[in-house]
Structure 1
């Protein structure tokens, strides 16, 4: 039995957004378990699910988790990035059935997996309704889980199954294109590792995943002293796990077909990706949705939280919470008390207080406090900083140009960076940012990668957020764009004209941070390759027919390139909150609530 009370298995990670709830369900039930339950879909395909439910004769609400990840591993307790269905030993004693289902073609489920396609949405609709029809279910179904489990929640909600009452899709992506590509830059390392890992695990069954050595592993991982070590298991641990698993052999179909589709056959947004994009469908969602992520998940799910927030603007009850660093360790069991207050309200009719206060709560790093807002982004002021020819990042432009080369064959630096002077006062940056860049390159394509850092007086740097853009997909939908949020169709590649200056708008993922007095803000390329980032400011694009060089000259122009930090005007979530101040410079434009950077 898991929870926060004495004698319970202690859950890792933050459990609320700093709030106190009331009338929450208590842990009073034993657990019944039914493995490998058959779920027949409308076309006759049979999926497999594990059902954990309270030891009671009374019907109870159900929480459904569905993904291509092995259901048999969800109680393993390992810090692996596929254990994300939630802690059943938390939910079941509190009176919820926890149903963990495998999607088509994975771990004993029939059919062939299609990777977030239209068939999967129909299957999820059926899963919800089949769950609600079980004699042990009272007809109220919620959905739970992070990452792909979160994606499945929103996919199901777009189908409007009658018995789906609420969802909690934390760390969600609403577009498969954006999960695999960063504004046209293929996230090849992660996409390959992830798809191969799913392929390897999908073919494994109970003999490996439930019996034999796995039983011993479960007992070892359940030891409190071992479990506590996973409290800080983050992205690096996830990637190492994927690397280890992906080395095992897997069958070719459909996995190599999907990998080929992602890596080579569909290099731009096209109908294949459109089928795997929930954004046009989110307006149909009519159930309460609680979305969120953590500020450090810049490269994968954080952008999806904002895409979901925008797409759900017509949904009556939507809330969003954004956690600080370390908010979502593996295995996933953080934010369970927050989710309990949510489901107790919507599935059980309890007055938990979950709807009290503004709908947006976010952790302001640097100030180390919770903030609230009625909107996202919060009302703010623009602050424009020019990339100076002298390497300065300043409200006042220093005219000129800087050159660099992507290798050591030229007498030029291989990387450039820009920094502010030490800040004279605290500066709160909350919201969306963009880099406007005027540059010339000797090649016909280029990949722009920009990293924003907080540099302390001792020189140590904290990564804040990052942005990407493939030069050939630089086209901007100006009518749909807002300050700080350029909309990039990414459908029609156009070669970059060699030697000519070109204007680019590079979106940086939204974030929130207080840059303290005496700190510097630095814009730089990433220094080392990560699971999603090449190691340089601009990289060649080999999958196009063009053969670019990486020698490039960023040129400040009269419409100065700038990133847009914003000073938050959102209210504090608790007493003692302070406000940052914008350094001196040109008076910024005032933005409306929907377009504030």
Structure 2
């Protein structure tokens, strides 16, 4: 399919200034920058441009470049998601490449590429493997040698676009100069299996959506229905209302996509590999684990995510930061990380574009923007509405404090260690008569602090060290932490997950507050014996106001609602019905700030 150059020029400019199409979401990490590129170019578009791979396969790309002839730095956005939808301002969880009408008028070429086997690109998609990284190398080198390219290439986009960025950086193409991967997952296993528990609501909807979206025709995706959607969602009033599109809306979108049809190959095999055939780490997963390959990254990396993205990309953001910090000073590239508040990475993705401009203006154009000034970690503290900085993560001034899971249900700094509490895991699976008495056990357990008398700030790694016994040989541990207001309303903070049979901790890679699980070899739990579990909760930060309480819930199912879930994503529980006992010797480690 040859490139189709348009003779018309788009002069729409997005940004934050008066008269520009207003971008949704936060545009910086609470900072001001200098010497940023100004919007001064019209945009010329080429559609369905073929990019040759070394094995003869051609990938298809849409290219937007400045109207004025010249050599410009290039930003590449690559994923399996339809390139045809990336300029449609619809709140779909696939519109994540970044806005052409922001970057191209400011002097960048934007190349949006479909990976092989998706949306008419040749070949077969094999998800996040060495073959994908080889393709990304070839795409970068192609872009770096075109007549409209200055030879300086960066990469852009969130979610899978961010994952592709790190994959390309691991492959180390010479023309790649910097990446900006917000909301990435560097380890595919941990995206799909949280501590050994299948992230089922996400992965089932996502794989079906991919099968449908990536096999739609170019004619349909550029047809009148999509054009009508583009026009509707460009309305400023409607667009402004979408700036806090949340995960539940994204899940509903996945479910709507699932009503279409798609070919069995390769999508059914992909789903089987992800969700059924490989519940434990093996060589297939390790090929798709970039945390083991970070030493190959030689270009500057800007990491980031939003605090409420606990079931998808936030855990891996910290894993990736930690992985870079384990490298020697000589082998570690420049790395920065920003943690955003609510709505930080909404759909369509157009937040943090000014921040990205400051990053790429520095690394691709050599402009002094100030992006490297100050500590490398910046985080928004929810409920304090403050930006804070740190040289490290967790912040150097945070201290792990123990909160005891007392037998009376109080989460206390000074609780006793005697006694225990019990709940019935998966009681809904027991096929009892409707006339039978209900089990005299709750479906989960909660511990709540007394109402706070002063503000309490925390930021950093969080761990539950739990002593527990079960009557089965395996179970699910699903943990939720919430901020409870005086009126009883609760706000989800973070979560943790662990399959009991995959409780083995990699002591070499673990630190207090952040245990790392191997998840490669299941070991049956001895029934009715107390076992110590180290369960990582996704790192987080928050201010708890005076009068509020902190509530910890422990259970074995979030699909039934026994344990609160976030963004509508729930898990396929492990184990059968079991009476699970949690002993009062258990403690929650919370990183308190002074």
Does the alignment reach a TM-score above 0.5? Answer: yes
C-alpha offsets along residues 104-151 of structure 1, whole Å, 9 cap, x if unaligned?
100010100001011001100111000111100010100000000000
Whether contact under 8 Å (1:377, 1:432) holds in the other structure is: yes
- TM-aligned CA deviation for residue 540 of structure 1: 4.6
* Alignment-derived partner of residue 297 in structure 2: 285
* Alignment-derived partner of residue 340 in structure 1: 357
Q: Establish whether residue 479 from structure 1 lines up as the match of residue 508 from structure 2.
A: yes
In 2, the alpha carbon distance for the partners of 1:187 and 1:338 equals 31
* Alignment-derived partner of residue 589 in structure 2: 564
- TM-aligned CA deviation for residue 530 of structure 1: 5.6
Whether contact under 8 Å (2:301, 2:333) holds in the other structure is: no
Whether contact under 8 Å (2:339, 2:378) holds in the other structure is: yes
* Alignment-derived partner of residue 373 in structure 1: 390
Q: 2:103 aligns with which of 64, 75, 91?
A: 91
Whether contact under 8 Å (1:188, 1:532) holds in the other structure is: no
- TM-aligned CA deviation for residue 529 of structure 1: 5.7
Q: Establish whether residue 4 from structure 1 lines up as the match of residue 16 from structure 2.
A: yes
Q: 2:380 aligns with which of 363, 375, 380?
A: 363
In 1, the alpha carbon distance for the partners of 2:289 and 2:85 equals 28
User: Cα RMSD over matched residues?
Assistant: 1.4
* Alignment-derived partner of residue 419 in structure 2: 400
Q: Within 5 Å, which residues of 2 pair with 1:240-255?
A: 240-255=252-267
In 2, the alpha carbon distance for the partners of 1:253 and 1:275 equals 21
In 1, the alpha carbon distance for the partners of 2:316 and 2:140 equals 23
Q: Establish whether residue 550 from structure 1 lines up as the match of residue 575 from structure 2.
A: no
* Alignment-derived partner of residue 138 in structure 1: 150
Q: Establish whether residue 271 from structure 1 lines up as the match of residue 271 from structure 2.
A: no
In 2, the alpha carbon distance for the partners of 1:162 and 1:127 equals 12
Q: Establish whether residue 385 from structure 1 lines up as the match of residue 413 from structure 2.
A: no
* Alignment-derived partner of residue 322 in structure 1: 339
Partner of 1:238, secondary structure, is: helix
Partner of 1:75, secondary structure, is: coil
Distance 1:194 1:278, change over 3 A: same
* Alignment-derived partner of residue 61 in structure 1: 73
Distance 1:416 1:503, change over 3 A: same
In 1, the alpha carbon distance for the partners of 2:508 and 2:177 equals 36
- TM-aligned CA deviation for residue 533 of structure 1: 5.0
* Alignment-derived partner of residue 208 in structure 2: 196
Q: 2:497 aligns with which of 468, 474, 488?
A: 468
- TM-aligned CA deviation for residue 227 of structure 1: 1.1
TM-score by length of 1: 0.91
In 2, the alpha carbon distance for the partners of 1:131 and 1:442 equals 59
Q: Establish whether residue 100 from structure 1 lines up as the match of residue 112 from structure 2.
A: yes
Q: Establish whether residue 213 from structure 1 lines up as the match of residue 222 from structure 2.
A: no
Q: Within 5 Å, which residues of 2 pair with 1:428-467?
A: 428-467=457-496
In 2, the alpha carbon distance for the partners of 1:436 and 1:311 equals 23
Greater shift in the superposed pair: 424-433 or 254-263: 424-433
* Alignment-derived partner of residue 591 in structure 1: none
Whether contact under 8 Å (1:189, 1:531) holds in the other structure is: no
C-alpha offsets along residues 432-474 of structure 1, whole Å, 9 cap, x if unaligned?
0111111111111111011111112222211111100001101
C-alpha offsets along residues 347-400 of structure 1, whole Å, 9 cap, x if unaligned?
000010001111100001121100000111111222001100000111223210
Q: 1:521 aligns with which of 512, 527, 550?
A: 550
Instruction: Please list every run of 5 or more consecutive structure 1 residues that lacks an aligned counterpart in the other structure.
Output: 542-546, 569-579, 581-597
Greater shift in the superposed pair: 381-390 or 418-427: 418-427
In 1, the alpha carbon distance for the partners of 2:279 and 2:173 equals 34
C-alpha offsets along residues 31-79 of structure 1, whole Å, 9 cap, x if unaligned?
1100000000111110000000001111100000000000000011100
* Alignment-derived partner of residue 64 in structure 2: 52
In 2, the alpha carbon distance for the partners of 1:355 and 1:530 equals 33
Whether contact under 8 Å (2:201, 2:570) holds in the other structure is: no
Which consecutive aligned stretches of 4+ in structure 1 deviate over 3 angstroms post-superposition? 525-535
In 2, the alpha carbon distance for the partners of 1:7 and 1:341 equals 21
TM-score by length of 2: 0.92
* Alignment-derived partner of residue 123 in structure 2: 111
- TM-aligned CA deviation for residue 492 of structure 1: 0.4
* Alignment-derived partner of residue 447 in structure 2: 418
In 2, the alpha carbon distance for the partners of 1:496 and 1:143 equals 45
Distance 1:251 1:531, change over 3 A: farther
* Alignment-derived partner of residue 521 in structure 2: 492
Whether contact under 8 Å (1:234, 1:328) holds in the other structure is: no
C-alpha offsets along residues 381-433 of structure 1, whole Å, 9 cap, x if unaligned?
22001100000111223210111113274211222100111223222111001
C-alpha offsets along residues 335-354 of structure 1, whole Å, 9 cap, x if unaligned?
00000000000000001000
- TM-aligned CA deviation for residue 206 of structure 1: 1.7
In 1, the alpha carbon distance for the partners of 2:447 and 2:192 equals 29
Whether contact under 8 Å (2:197, 2:573) holds in the other structure is: no
Instruction: Please list every run of 5 or more consecutive structure 2 residues that lacks an aligned counterpart in the other structure.
Output: 1-12, 429-437
In 1, the alpha carbon distance for the partners of 2:334 and 2:505 equals 32
Whether contact under 8 Å (2:177, 2:363) holds in the other structure is: yes
Q: Within 5 Å, which residues of 2 pair with 1:217-232?
A: 217-232=229-244
